[in-house]
Amino acid sequence: MIVRSGHIAFPKKTQFKDLAKVFPEMLRLFLKESGQMPEDEALFRILLRTNMADLQNNRKPEGFNRDNKMRMLFPLGKGNEVAFYLYRSSRSEEVARLTEMLSSFLRSKGLLHKVEWDKMVLYHYKERRARRPESPRPNA
CB 115 within 8 A of CB 99: yes
CB 96 within 8 A of CB 86: no
Q: Output the tens digit of pLDDT for each of the chain's 140 residues.
A: 899 999 999 999 999 999 999 999 999 999 999 999 999 999 999 999 999 999 999 999 999 887 778 999 998 766 678 999 999 988 889 999 999 999 999 999 999 999 999 987 655 445 555 565 555 555 65
Q: Report the candidate in 80, 84, 28, 83 with the shortest Cα–Cα distance to residue 58.
A: 80
Segments making up each domain of the chain, as ranges = 3-131
Tell me how far apart the alpha carbons of residues 125 and 108 are, in angstroms, rounded to a whole number: 36
Q: Report the candidate in 124, 31, 125, 123 with the shortest Cα–Cα distance to residue 69.
A: 31
pTM: 0.82
- CATH says 3-131 is which class? alpha beta
